[in-house]
Copies of this chain bind each other. A is one copy, B any other.
């Protein structure tokens, strides 16, 4: 069953090992067998998020995870500082405003990450949190969250990070970098099908959650944690058992390879791809100080070229790449290179692209 090669910034290619796990008979979610599976996966998530705190799991898209972070951490009227460097930063702003937060936004020109200095200038005492996207797939830019995390040390504010397209592909040390809420999802660098959101929550964030007054039921962090920490780990509501089984297998693969080897592989392949693209005379969109190791964006001056390439890549070569989002729709192609990605896939993509041009 050979599928198309997914060179998109999520969903990504799922290894055979993970697909096979997904096709095993479903196990019941209130059994010891499931408790072991869910407990094991949750432990492995701690390794990948580099945190000692429990990582919560919700059957949901990544966006549900962002919403869960907002409704658990805040009360209506709370003031927050949100950095947007593209579509997903904008989405975080929309979610926060939906729930009545007062949002101060740093809107960084597309193609760049935020400068730590900009945050230092803009973060005020009455901001309850600093919120940002680690890796922005719409612009292929990565924010310097290690440096931002150093600045956030000993601050009163919560540090909330959307790591949906970074965790498992780009280094993120949740605890060491003072991240209080780290959201990710199954379908990006975690090499699994979409349908699960994962959320790491620091001690400081658990404290903050106690005073949140935004109504929540499905997304309730306390309920998720209480069920996870039972002698036989479980979930408040029926979990997506097959997906959990798939993710557990994918995380095993990351452990076997070693997290830092995984990061290196991503970095190496990203460099290799960019180098080839530059040789072809293509215009890499992102500022070189903020280049992403999980996605690369290329822009074209001429109207219509981007979508023609995207279509030909899929129809003639069976390689799915992404177009531009938001204001870059029709002007950009984006090549994802995260998760289950290797040299051969990069070469195949480059060769097909050469033939398209």
Contacts and interface: CB of A to CB of B under 8 A. Distances in A.
A10 interface: yes
A260 interface: no
A326 interface: no
Interface size class of A (residues with CB under 8 A): 35 or more
A60 B218 contact: yes
A352 to B, nearest CB: 16
Given A4-B27, A8-B28, A11-B28, A187 B238 contact: yes
A235 B23 CA distance: 24
Contact of A240 (B2, B3, B195, B322): B195
Interface in A162-206: 185, 187, 193-195
Contact of A243 (B14, B31, B195): B195
A26 B3 contact: yes
Contact of A98 (B28, B64, B216, B239): B216
A98 B194 contact: no
Contact of A194 (B4, B6, B239, B314): B239
Nearest to A65: B218
Interface string A284-328: 000000000000000000000000000000100000101000000
Interface of A: 1-4, 6, 8, 10-14, 19-20, 22-31, 59-64, 67, 94-95, 98-100, 185, 187, 193-195, 214-218, 235-243, 314, 320, 322
